[in-house]
A = this chain, B = another copy of it.
Amino acid sequence: MSVIYDRIALIGLGLIAGSMSLAIRRGGLAGEVVGYARSHATRATAREIGLCDRIEDTAAAAVEGADLVVLCVPVGVMGDVAVEIAPNLKPGATVSDVGSVKRAVIDAVAPHLPENVHFVPAHPLAGTEHSGPRSGFATLFDNRWCLIVPQEGADRAAVDRLEALWRGIGAQTDEMEADHHDLVLAVTSHTPHLIAYTMVGVADDLRRVTDSEVIKYSAAGFRDFTRIAASDPTMWRDVFLNNREATLEILGRFTEELFALQRAIRKGDGDHLHAYFTRTRAIRRGIIEAGQDTDAPDFGRARSG
Protein backbone atom coordinates (compact mmCIF):
# COMPACT_ATOMS: atom_id res chain seq x y z
CA MET A 1 0.00 0.00 0.00
CA SER A 2 1.09 3.63 -0.24
CA VAL A 3 1.60 6.39 2.31
CA ILE A 4 -1.69 8.08 3.25
CA TYR A 5 -0.32 10.54 5.84
CA ASP A 6 3.30 11.69 6.01
CA ARG A 7 3.19 11.90 9.79
CA ILE A 8 0.68 10.35 12.20
CA ALA A 9 0.68 11.19 15.92
CA LEU A 10 -0.91 8.76 18.38
CA ILE A 11 -1.81 10.28 21.76
CA GLY A 12 -2.12 7.56 24.39
CA LEU A 13 -0.25 4.29 23.84
CA GLY A 14 -2.55 1.48 24.95
CA LEU A 15 -4.07 -1.48 23.12
CA ILE A 16 -5.68 0.56 20.32
CA ALA A 17 -2.82 2.98 19.59
CA GLY A 18 -0.26 0.20 19.78
CA SER A 19 -2.22 -1.97 17.38
CA MET A 20 -2.76 1.01 15.06
CA SER A 21 0.97 1.74 14.97
CA LEU A 22 1.81 -1.87 14.15
CA ALA A 23 -0.90 -2.06 11.47
CA ILE A 24 0.10 1.30 9.95
CA ARG A 25 3.68 0.08 9.61
CA ARG A 26 2.52 -3.28 8.25
CA GLY A 27 0.70 -1.40 5.51
CA GLY A 28 3.33 1.28 4.98
CA LEU A 29 0.53 3.83 5.46
CA ALA A 30 2.58 6.62 7.07
CA GLY A 31 5.98 8.21 6.62
CA GLU A 32 6.37 8.37 10.38
CA VAL A 33 4.35 7.33 13.43
CA VAL A 34 4.96 9.48 16.50
CA GLY A 35 3.66 8.47 19.92
CA TYR A 36 2.99 10.06 23.30
CA ALA A 37 1.65 8.72 26.59
CA ARG A 38 1.14 10.65 29.83
CA SER A 39 2.84 7.97 31.92
CA HIS A 40 6.63 7.90 31.91
CA ALA A 41 6.58 4.12 32.36
CA THR A 42 4.36 3.70 29.30
CA ARG A 43 6.64 5.89 27.19
CA ALA A 44 9.67 3.91 28.40
CA THR A 45 8.02 0.62 27.46
CA ALA A 46 6.95 1.99 24.08
CA ARG A 47 10.55 3.06 23.36
CA GLU A 48 11.90 -0.27 24.59
CA ILE A 49 9.71 -2.31 22.24
CA GLY A 50 9.92 0.23 19.40
CA LEU A 51 6.15 0.65 19.31
CA CYS A 52 6.40 3.85 17.23
CA ASP A 53 9.10 5.46 15.07
CA ARG A 54 9.48 8.17 17.70
CA ILE A 55 8.14 8.71 21.24
CA GLU A 56 7.87 12.28 22.50
CA ASP A 57 7.71 13.38 26.16
CA THR A 58 4.91 15.91 25.61
CA ALA A 59 1.69 15.77 23.62
CA ALA A 60 2.56 19.16 22.12
CA ALA A 61 5.85 17.87 20.68
CA ALA A 62 4.17 14.69 19.42
CA VAL A 63 1.52 16.51 17.34
CA GLU A 64 4.05 19.01 15.91
CA GLY A 65 3.84 18.80 12.13
CA ALA A 66 1.54 15.77 12.20
CA ASP A 67 -0.94 15.43 9.31
CA LEU A 68 -3.13 13.18 11.43
CA VAL A 69 -3.48 13.21 15.20
CA VAL A 70 -5.45 10.34 16.78
CA LEU A 71 -6.59 10.65 20.39
CA CYS A 72 -6.35 7.15 21.90
CA VAL A 73 -6.98 8.07 25.54
CA PRO A 74 -9.94 7.22 27.81
CA VAL A 75 -13.12 9.11 26.83
CA GLY A 76 -13.04 11.07 30.07
CA VAL A 77 -9.77 12.86 29.30
CA MET A 78 -10.23 13.54 25.58
CA GLY A 79 -11.17 17.15 26.27
CA ASP A 80 -8.07 17.84 28.38
CA VAL A 81 -5.84 16.38 25.67
CA ALA A 82 -7.55 18.54 23.03
CA VAL A 83 -6.80 21.65 25.08
CA GLU A 84 -3.18 20.51 25.47
CA ILE A 85 -2.49 19.92 21.76
CA ALA A 86 -4.65 22.63 20.16
CA PRO A 87 -1.92 25.32 19.97
CA ASN A 88 0.56 22.99 18.26
CA LEU A 89 -1.69 21.43 15.62
CA LYS A 90 -0.50 21.84 12.03
CA PRO A 91 -2.92 23.92 9.91
CA GLY A 92 -4.93 21.60 7.69
CA ALA A 93 -4.21 18.60 9.90
CA THR A 94 -6.92 16.08 10.77
CA VAL A 95 -7.73 15.26 14.38
CA SER A 96 -9.53 11.98 15.11
CA ASP A 97 -10.15 9.72 18.09
CA VAL A 98 -10.98 6.10 18.86
CA GLY A 99 -13.42 6.62 21.72
CA SER A 100 -16.21 4.08 22.35
CA VAL A 101 -18.64 6.96 22.89
CA LYS A 102 -19.03 9.67 20.28
CA ARG A 103 -21.45 12.41 21.37
CA ALA A 104 -19.60 13.13 24.64
CA VAL A 105 -16.22 13.09 22.90
CA ILE A 106 -17.41 15.50 20.21
CA ASP A 107 -18.81 17.87 22.84
CA ALA A 108 -15.56 17.69 24.82
CA VAL A 109 -13.08 17.99 21.95
CA ALA A 110 -14.62 20.07 19.14
CA PRO A 111 -14.82 23.41 21.02
CA HIS A 112 -11.08 23.40 21.69
CA LEU A 113 -9.82 22.73 18.17
CA PRO A 114 -8.71 25.60 15.89
CA GLU A 115 -10.81 26.31 12.82
CA ASN A 116 -8.02 25.33 10.45
CA VAL A 117 -7.99 21.62 11.40
CA HIS A 118 -10.47 18.90 10.46
CA PHE A 119 -12.08 16.95 13.31
CA VAL A 120 -13.25 13.50 12.19
CA PRO A 121 -14.34 11.29 15.13
CA ALA A 122 -14.05 7.53 14.68
CA HIS A 123 -14.53 4.31 16.63
CA PRO A 124 -12.89 1.03 15.67
CA LEU A 125 -15.06 -1.86 16.90
CA ALA A 126 -12.24 -4.04 18.11
CA GLY A 127 -10.59 -4.77 21.40
CA THR A 128 -9.39 -7.39 23.82
CA GLU A 129 -9.44 -7.71 27.60
CA HIS A 130 -5.80 -6.63 27.70
CA SER A 131 -4.48 -3.08 27.94
CA GLY A 132 -1.21 -1.18 28.00
CA PRO A 133 1.61 -0.59 25.49
CA ARG A 134 2.51 -4.28 25.25
CA SER A 135 -1.02 -5.41 24.43
CA GLY A 136 -1.21 -4.26 20.81
CA PHE A 137 -0.99 -6.49 17.74
CA ALA A 138 -1.10 -5.62 14.03
CA THR A 139 -4.11 -7.81 13.18
CA LEU A 140 -6.49 -6.42 15.84
CA PHE A 141 -8.57 -4.49 13.31
CA ASP A 142 -8.51 -6.97 10.44
CA ASN A 143 -12.05 -7.61 9.18
CA ARG A 144 -13.47 -5.44 11.97
CA TRP A 145 -15.60 -2.33 11.53
CA CYS A 146 -14.41 1.21 12.11
CA LEU A 147 -17.33 3.64 12.43
CA ILE A 148 -16.59 7.15 11.18
CA VAL A 149 -18.74 9.95 12.62
CA PRO A 150 -18.28 13.01 10.34
CA GLN A 151 -19.47 16.35 11.72
CA GLU A 152 -21.85 18.65 9.89
CA GLY A 153 -19.99 20.49 7.15
CA ALA A 154 -16.99 18.17 7.43
CA ASP A 155 -14.37 18.33 4.68
CA ARG A 156 -15.16 15.33 2.46
CA ALA A 157 -11.54 14.85 1.41
CA ALA A 158 -10.41 14.71 5.05
CA VAL A 159 -13.11 12.15 5.87
CA ASP A 160 -12.27 10.00 2.85
CA ARG A 161 -8.58 10.10 3.72
CA LEU A 162 -9.20 8.89 7.29
CA GLU A 163 -11.43 6.09 5.98
CA ALA A 164 -8.68 5.11 3.56
CA LEU A 165 -6.26 4.84 6.49
CA TRP A 166 -8.61 2.58 8.43
CA ARG A 167 -9.15 0.36 5.40
CA GLY A 168 -5.38 0.21 5.01
CA ILE A 169 -5.16 -0.82 8.65
CA GLY A 170 -7.44 -3.75 7.78
CA ALA A 171 -10.86 -2.54 8.92
CA GLN A 172 -14.09 -2.00 7.00
CA THR A 173 -15.46 1.53 7.39
CA ASP A 174 -18.96 2.87 7.72
CA GLU A 175 -20.37 6.28 8.63
CA MET A 176 -22.88 6.87 11.39
CA GLU A 177 -24.48 9.76 13.28
CA ALA A 178 -23.11 10.27 16.80
CA ASP A 179 -26.26 9.68 18.88
CA HIS A 180 -27.24 6.64 16.86
CA HIS A 181 -23.72 5.29 17.28
CA ASP A 182 -24.01 5.66 21.04
CA LEU A 183 -27.30 3.73 21.14
CA VAL A 184 -26.07 0.93 18.88
CA LEU A 185 -22.94 0.53 21.00
CA ALA A 186 -24.97 0.62 24.22
CA VAL A 187 -26.70 -2.51 22.90
CA THR A 188 -23.81 -4.35 21.30
CA SER A 189 -21.02 -3.49 23.69
CA HIS A 190 -21.61 -1.19 26.68
CA THR A 191 -24.54 -2.97 28.36
CA PRO A 192 -23.10 -6.46 27.73
CA HIS A 193 -19.89 -5.34 29.42
CA LEU A 194 -21.74 -3.96 32.44
CA ILE A 195 -23.69 -7.21 32.77
CA ALA A 196 -20.53 -9.29 32.55
CA TYR A 197 -18.85 -7.15 35.21
CA THR A 198 -21.92 -7.61 37.41
CA MET A 199 -22.09 -11.39 37.06
CA VAL A 200 -18.40 -11.77 37.85
CA GLY A 201 -18.87 -9.51 40.86
CA VAL A 202 -21.74 -11.68 42.11
CA ALA A 203 -19.63 -14.81 41.83
CA ASP A 204 -16.84 -13.06 43.68
CA ASP A 205 -19.22 -12.03 46.48
CA LEU A 206 -20.76 -15.45 47.05
CA ARG A 207 -19.31 -16.89 50.21
CA ARG A 208 -21.11 -20.22 49.88
CA VAL A 209 -19.35 -20.76 46.56
CA THR A 210 -15.67 -20.23 47.16
CA ASP A 211 -13.65 -18.33 44.60
CA SER A 212 -11.56 -21.41 43.99
CA GLU A 213 -14.66 -23.38 43.02
CA VAL A 214 -16.01 -20.61 40.82
CA ILE A 215 -12.67 -20.43 39.08
CA LYS A 216 -12.05 -24.16 38.95
CA TYR A 217 -15.46 -24.94 37.48
CA SER A 218 -15.88 -21.90 35.26
CA ALA A 219 -17.51 -23.76 32.40
CA ALA A 220 -18.16 -21.94 29.19
CA GLY A 221 -20.59 -19.17 29.95
CA PHE A 222 -19.09 -17.69 33.07
CA ARG A 223 -15.60 -18.04 31.63
CA ASP A 224 -16.57 -15.85 28.68
CA PHE A 225 -18.00 -13.27 31.12
CA THR A 226 -14.74 -13.11 33.04
CA ARG A 227 -12.88 -12.43 29.81
CA ILE A 228 -15.14 -9.45 29.12
CA ALA A 229 -15.03 -8.34 32.76
CA ALA A 230 -11.23 -8.21 32.69
CA SER A 231 -11.29 -5.18 30.37
CA ASP A 232 -9.63 -1.90 31.33
CA PRO A 233 -11.50 -0.38 34.33
CA THR A 234 -10.69 3.25 33.51
CA MET A 235 -11.79 2.98 29.90
CA TRP A 236 -15.06 1.35 30.88
CA ARG A 237 -15.80 3.69 33.78
CA ASP A 238 -15.55 6.56 31.29
CA VAL A 239 -17.72 4.75 28.74
CA PHE A 240 -20.58 4.37 31.20
CA LEU A 241 -20.29 7.89 32.59
CA ASN A 242 -20.25 9.30 29.06
CA ASN A 243 -22.95 7.15 27.47
CA ARG A 244 -25.27 7.34 30.45
CA GLU A 245 -28.68 7.83 28.81
CA ALA A 246 -28.35 5.08 26.20
CA THR A 247 -26.85 2.62 28.68
CA LEU A 248 -29.60 3.28 31.25
CA GLU A 249 -32.27 2.89 28.55
CA ILE A 250 -30.93 -0.47 27.45
CA LEU A 251 -30.43 -1.58 31.06
CA GLY A 252 -34.09 -0.79 31.70
CA ARG A 253 -35.17 -2.97 28.80
CA PHE A 254 -32.77 -5.68 29.94
CA THR A 255 -34.13 -5.91 33.48
CA GLU A 256 -37.67 -5.90 32.09
CA GLU A 257 -36.91 -8.94 29.93
CA LEU A 258 -34.92 -10.63 32.67
CA PHE A 259 -37.81 -10.32 35.12
CA ALA A 260 -40.14 -11.89 32.56
CA LEU A 261 -37.81 -14.89 32.22
CA GLN A 262 -37.36 -15.01 35.99
CA ARG A 263 -41.14 -15.18 36.37
CA ALA A 264 -41.30 -17.96 33.78
CA ILE A 265 -38.74 -19.96 35.76
CA ARG A 266 -40.61 -19.37 39.02
CA LYS A 267 -43.93 -20.39 37.45
CA GLY A 268 -42.40 -23.30 35.53
CA ASP A 269 -43.48 -21.85 32.17
CA GLY A 270 -41.26 -23.99 29.95
CA ASP A 271 -42.94 -22.88 26.73
CA HIS A 272 -42.04 -19.24 27.36
CA LEU A 273 -38.40 -20.18 28.03
CA HIS A 274 -38.12 -22.48 25.03
CA ALA A 275 -39.65 -19.93 22.66
CA TYR A 276 -37.33 -17.20 23.95
CA PHE A 277 -34.20 -19.35 23.69
CA THR A 278 -35.16 -20.45 20.19
CA ARG A 279 -35.54 -16.84 19.04
CA THR A 280 -32.10 -15.83 20.31
CA ARG A 281 -30.48 -18.55 18.20
CA ALA A 282 -31.34 -16.71 14.99
CA ILE A 283 -29.37 -13.56 15.74
CA ARG A 284 -26.28 -15.71 16.34
CA ARG A 285 -26.60 -17.23 12.87
CA GLY A 286 -26.84 -13.72 11.47
CA ILE A 287 -23.58 -12.74 13.12
CA ILE A 288 -21.78 -15.74 11.68
CA GLU A 289 -23.24 -15.01 8.23
CA ALA A 290 -22.14 -11.37 8.64
CA GLY A 291 -18.59 -12.68 9.11
CA GLN A 292 -18.18 -11.14 12.56
CA ASP A 293 -17.45 -14.50 14.18
CA THR A 294 -16.79 -18.08 13.15
CA ASP A 295 -18.94 -21.16 13.60
CA ALA A 296 -16.04 -22.94 15.31
CA PRO A 297 -17.70 -25.43 17.72
CA ASP A 298 -16.49 -24.02 21.00
CA PHE A 299 -16.69 -21.18 23.52
CA GLY A 300 -13.04 -20.46 22.99
CA ARG A 301 -12.07 -24.04 23.79
CA ALA A 302 -9.82 -24.05 20.74
CA ARG A 303 -7.74 -21.55 22.69
CA SER A 304 -7.91 -23.40 25.96
CA GLY A 305 -8.11 -27.13 25.15
Interface residues of A (CB under 8 A from B): 76, 125-130, 135, 137, 139-140, 142-145, 147, 174, 183-185, 187-206, 208-209, 211-231, 233-234, 236-238, 240-241, 244, 247-248, 250-251, 253-255, 257-258, 261-262, 265-266, 268, 270, 273-274, 276-287, 290-294, 296-305
Kindly identify which residue among B188, B213, B255, B296 contacts A218, using a CB–CB cutoff of 8 Å. Answer: B188
* Bound: A241/B268 CA distance, A: 6
Q: In this complex, what residue of B is CB-closest to A190?
A: B221
Q: Is the CB of A208 within 8 A of B226?
A: no
Q: Known contacts A209-B184, A254-B202, A283-B203: does B192 contact A225 (CB below 8 Å)? A: yes
5 A-B pairs whose Cβ atoms sit less than 8 Å apart in the complex:
A183-B208, A188-B214, A198-B257, A204-B283, A248-B266
A112–chain B nearest beta-carbon distance, Å? 22
5 new A-B contacts at CB < 8 Å, known A191-B202, A200-B283, A302-B303: A188-B218, A197-B276, A201-B280, A203-B283, A241-B268
* Bound: A294/B135 CA distance, A: 15
Q: Is the CB of B184 within 8 A of A213?
A: yes
Q: Known contacts A214-B184, A227-B224: does B241 contact A265 (CB below 8 Å)? A: yes
Q: In this complex, what residue of B is CB-closest to A219?
A: B125
Kindly identify which residue among B185, B212, B222 contacts A192, using a CB–CB cutoff of 8 Å. Answer: B222
Q: In this complex, what residue of B is CB-closest to A143?
A: B305
Q: Is the CB of A202 within 8 A of B253?
A: yes
Q: Is the CB of B203 within 8 A of A188?
A: yes
Q: In this complex, what residue of B is CB-closest to A232?
A: B277
* Bound: A200/B227 CA distance, A: 18
Q: Is the CB of A126 within 8 A of B219?
A: yes
Q: Is the CB of A297 within 8 A of B135?
A: yes
A194–chain B nearest beta-carbon distance, Å? 6
Contacts of A215 in B (CB 8 A): 283, 286-287, 290, 292
* Bound: A189/B214 CA distance, A: 10
Q: Known contacts A187-B214, A226-B283, A227-B284: does B205 contact A257 (CB below 8 Å)? A: yes
* Bound: A101/B230 CA distance, A: 28
Residue of A190, A194, A298 contacting most chain B CB atoms (<10 Å): A298
Q: Known contacts A215-B286, A217-B184, A299-B128: does B277 contact A229 (CB below 8 Å)? A: yes
Q: Known contacts A197-B277, A302-B303, A303-B294: does B284 contact A230 (CB below 8 Å)? A: yes
Q: Is the CB of A200 within 8 A of B284?
A: yes
* Bound: A302/B250 CA distance, A: 29
Q: Known contacts A140-B301, A208-B183, A215-B292: does B251 contact A258 (CB below 8 Å)? A: yes
Q: Is the CB of B303 within 8 A of A222?
A: no
Q: Is the CB of A193 within 8 A of B208?
A: no
Q: Is the CB of B254 within 8 A of A199?
A: yes
Q: Is the CB of B128 within 8 A of A226?
A: no
Contacts of A229 in B (CB 8 A): 277, 280-281, 283-284
